[in-house]
Amino acid sequence: MKNVYDNFIYVSIKPDAQSEVLDFGKIELSSQTTTYPTINNQYLRWEGFSMKSKGTFTIYGSISDLYMNGTALSANYLFDKNIISPNTTFRLDSLSLNGTDRNFQSIINKRPADDKSIQLIVPGGTARIGEYRGTATWTVTASPV
């Protein structure tokens, strides 16, 4: 099976320097489950120089749980009105190319509170004072047109 990147002469997926992370800012400790948007737009640029073949290319995302000193927050994420558990793959965006596209670019730029942005759902009574960190992973798959 060919790697999806074999279809490209050049491809790059990169966040904008200003929104390199999904930053949910400072949140209030609460005994009730609360949903938090990011403090900045969620920006991801997917670009390529030239296509070798045509197809639909889909970007999938996956986000780990958030940890502080080895302790998990046990939070979920909200995306497109769906609750997503940590480390679950979800469809973020797609792009159809005809095989002759040159210098293509797909930009994902979502406002923090939009339905199609990633938001954090913190269960009541679980957050502690400190800085939590996790990992977001992006994957591209291809299918014929």
Q: What is the pLDDT of residues 26-55, one digit of tens each?
A: 888 889 999 999 988 887 776 665 555 567
Query: In 3D, which of 135, 12, 142 has the Cα closest to residue 62?
Result: 135
The whole-angstrom separation of Cα 141 and Cα 58 is 5
At 6, is the secondary structure helix, strand, or coil?
A: helix
Strand runs (DSSP E) across 9-54, as ranges? 11-15, 34-36, 42-48
Find where tokens 């296509």 sit: 51
The whole-number pLDDT of residue 1 equals 42
The whole-number pLDDT of residue 144 equals 54
